[in-house]
Amino acid sequence: MRIQLPVNGQSQHADNVLKKFRNSACGPTTAAIMLDYLLPHEKTKSINQLYKQLGTTPIGLFKYRFIHNMRKIVGPDWSIQSCSFHDALFELRAGRPVAMKFDKYFSFHFYLKPKYAYHWVPLIGYEEVENDVILIIHDNGGQNRDSQISEVSYKANQKVLNFVKMTPLTVRE
C-alpha cells in the first residue's frame, strides 16, 4: 500500500529566508509546510517568523521547543505532540503530514549513517515493502534548489527518527 499526500514543499534556502537562518531553518520550514497544508485558509506565517516564534537556534530546533511553541502558534483547537512511528502512519492515513526529525546526536547514535545527521522534514507518505517501510518526505531544499520529494528507508534510519503529529481536536458544544 502506498500513501502520498499532495503537500507542497518549500526550501529553507529560498531567497525569502534570511541568509543567517538558512542552514538551521529546516524545523521552521517543516512547520510552515504543515501549517499551509493543515490550515489552508489561515494567513501563512513566513519561515523567518516561524524561526523566531519556534525558538530556533543556529544549531537547529529542539523537539520540545517545536512542540511547545507550535502549541502557542496553532492554539487550543489542535493537539501537537510527539508520536510513535505507528501513530505517524495513522496520521498519514488520516490525511495529515507529520513532522519527522533525523537526530543521530541526541539519540546517541553517533556512528550510524542515516540519511541526515540532524534535519527536520515533513513526512508526507509511505509505502510498505517487504521487510521495510519506505518513508516519503519533502527534503526542504538545498542551496540553489527547491524542495524535492525523496524516499528513505525506515529500517535504515529508525534509531535516529522522531515524529511530531498535529491533530485537530473535536469541537465540544
Does residue 70 lie in a domain region?
yes
Does residue 9 lie in a domain region?
yes
Q: With pLDDT > 90 as the criterion, what percentage of the chain qualifies?
A: 77
The answer to which of 58-62, 68-72, 80-84, 141-145 has the lowest mean pLDDT is: 141-145
The helix/strand/coil state of 163 is strand
| CATH number, position 135 | 3.90.70.10
Does residue 122 lie in a domain region?
yes
Does residue 173 lie in a domain region?
no
Q: Given pLDDT bands bounded at 50, 70 and 90, which one contains residue 173? A: very low
| pLDDT tens per residue across span 111-159 | 667 666 668 999 999 999 999 999 999 988 888 888 889 999 999 999 9
Is the pLDDT assigned to residue 81 strictly greater than 60? yes
Q: With pLDDT > 70 as the criterion, what percentage of the chain qualifies?
A: 91
Q: Given pLDDT bands bounded at 50, 70 and 90, which one contains residue 43? A: confident
| pLDDT tens per residue across span 2-24 | 999 999 999 999 999 999 999 99
Does residue 140 lie in a domain region?
yes
* 123 touches 139 (CB < 8 A): no
- Alpha helix (H) ranges present in the chain? 19-22, 26-38, 47-53, 63-74, 85-93, 154-157
What mean pLDDT do residues 75-82 have? 96
- What average pLDDT does the chain have? 91
What is the pLDDT at residue 143? Answer: 85
What is the pLDDT at residue 103? Answer: 82
**pTM score:** 0.92
- Which residues, in sequence order, are CB contacts of 124 under 8 Å at separation 6+? 4, 5, 7, 92, 97, 136, 137, 138, 149
Does residue 29 lie in a domain region?
yes
Does residue 58 lie in a domain region?
yes
Does residue 156 lie in a domain region?
yes
The alpha carbon of residue 109 and the mean position of all alpha carbons in its chain are separated, in whole angstroms, by 20
What is the pLDDT at residue 86? Answer: 97
Which range of residues forms the domain containing residue 25?
Answer: 2-168
How many domains does one find in the chain? 1
